[in-house]
Amino acid sequence: MHLHILVTLLLFGVISMTVTDIVLVQAYESHATEGAIANVRSYSSKIINKIAEAGAITTSSTNEILQELEDAALFYDGRIILVNSKLVIVADTYDSEVGKTLISEEAIRCLKGSANTYTSTSGVDIFTELTLPIADSTTKEVIGVFIIRASLADVFETKASLIQISGIILSFMFLILFALALIYSYRLTRPLKRVIETIDHVSEGYLEDKVSMKGYYEIVKISDSFNVMLDKINKLEESRQEFVSNVSHELKTPMTSMKVLADSLLQQENLPEELYREFLTDINDEIERENKIITDLLALVKLDKKSGEMHIAQVSINELLEITLHRLKPIAQKHNIEMIFESFRNVVAEVDEVKMSLALSNLIENAIKYNVEGGWVKVSLNSNHKYVFIRVSDSGIGIPEEEQEMIFERFYRVDKTRARATGGTGLGLAITKNVVLMHKGSIKVNSKENEGTTFTLRIPLSFSFTTRETV
């Protein structure tokens, strides 16, 4: 990139400077040439007037102004020829052709009144040649031709030195441009290099590295975004570590209990059979608990594998809730809890049936588990043109306000001993929330201690609509 910026700036600078230089030199050339020609023409018209005043064009009549013509020819570093109406040369500053007849197309045309200008700028001959008619001042009849050739060498010499000087200036400017391009490209790429270095460092595992860059707005933005991303990675890493430690702890607890139970059985001899039975029943409970934690964990891990694995179908939410309630009825009956299902309409939504069933049964099961003897659980279903609304309310123990935010976190339990007694793993609501998010829905909790809890779910009716919005 450094080289790329450098070359681009240099190319741009060199091309624009060279083009400007060429344009300027060309402009000078045409301007100076035109000026020189105008000068010759103005001199010529003056001398032509003088000749015309004399009346006739003869060798003797022109002899008077010959000196003047010679001076002019010398001044213009050229030649002047005067031709009469018979095309006979009457005056020539080179003196060699006097008396001869001039056979030239321009001269013939000039006798008919048309002037001609010829300019040669190529090769060694750099000159302008004007062929002008001499008209009688009274009759206006063409009485001769005035031919003047003037050198334009001066113009081209100046042009050559101009090119030389501009060449020197261009080289000098090129050097300055090169230095500026070098500094500029370095300044532009240096912060990016630092970002790359930090990214490399972070990739090696140094997650606490941060970049702080000043200068261009975009560069500052890159460094800010990078730091935000780094913060997110750090938080993710933290929650991963916390999750691993929670998992280890949760899996270890039943193991420790089993070890204690097994040890006490082994240390004592000749124990009565009932005691063996009692201890083994406890060990069996712990195994079941361990099993439940692992099952929940696997369910959670599966859900984490992005929504690509969703098996979306048109599902009757009424039926789904009825089946779930029916399945959980025996547990509710055990605690004398009344189950109420209230449906305002038939709702069919695009959901993953297995995942949604898991999410809903977690909510209903909690409503039963954290309820009071003889309480109630009410599930209500409604919808509008866009969403399904499911409410699971209970008359249970409620959740303290300060804990309501945390209950969706993995392994979070309000009352650890009670949750343990009810067989809770602390993963149920985390699973439910994941399922809801995978359906692009939302979940809210409303609860008062010792009065009851209400969970409200809002799920979009159409899954494709939600994915189109987010993909």
Chain residues that interact with ligand ADP, rule: CB under 6 A: 362, 366-367, 370, 394, 396-399, 407, 412-415, 419, 424-430, 453
Please give the structure tokens belonging to residue 251.
């899996």
**Residue 270 CB-half CA count within 13 A:** 0
The dihedral through the CA atoms of 155, 161, 163, 169 has a sign that is negative
**3-class secondary structure, 117:** strand
Q: Decide whether 79 or 413 has the Cβ nearer to ligand ADP.
A: 413
Please give the structure tokens belonging to residue 49.
């007037």
Provide, rounded to whole angstroms, the least separation between the CB of residue 457 and ligand ADP: 13
Between the alpha carbon of residue 256 and those of residues 246, 283, 337, the distances in Å are 15, 10, 34
Provide, rounded to whole angstroms, the least separation between the CB of residue 468 and ligand ADP: 32
Provide, rounded to whole angstroms, the least separation between the CB of residue 416 and ligand ADP: 8
CB 155 within 8 Å of CB 33: yes
CB 130 within 8 Å of CB 117: yes
Mode of pairing for the β-strands spanning 79-84 and 142-151:
antiparallel
Provide, rounded to whole angstroms, the least separation between the CB of residue 399 and ligand ADP: 5
Determine how many CB atoms are found less than 10 A away from the CB of residue 188.
16
Q: Decide whether 211 or 339 has the Cβ nearer to ligand ADP.
A: 339
CA distance 72 to 94: 12
Q: Decide whether 91 or 297 has the Cβ nearer to ligand ADP.
A: 297
Provide, rounded to whole angstroms, the least separation between the CB of residue 322 and ligand ADP: 20
Q: Decide whether 267 or 450 has the Cβ nearer to ligand ADP.
A: 450
What pairs with residue 134 in β-bridges?
144
**3-class secondary structure, 77:** coil
Sequence-separated (6 or more) residues with CB below 8 Å from residue 149: 76, 78, 79, 80, 127, 128, 129, 130
CB 428 within 8 Å of CB 296: yes
User: Secondary structure of the chain: what % helix, strand, coil (to 5)?
Assistant: 60, 20, 25
Provide, rounded to whole angstroms, the least separation between the CB of residue 406 and ligand ADP: 8
Map tokens 């500052």 to a residue. Answer: 220
Provide, rounded to whole angstroms, the least separation between the CB of residue 420 and ligand ADP: 8
Q: Decide whether 133 or 396 has the Cβ nearer to ligand ADP.
A: 396
Provide, rounded to whole angstroms, the least separation between the CB of residue 403 and ligand ADP: 8
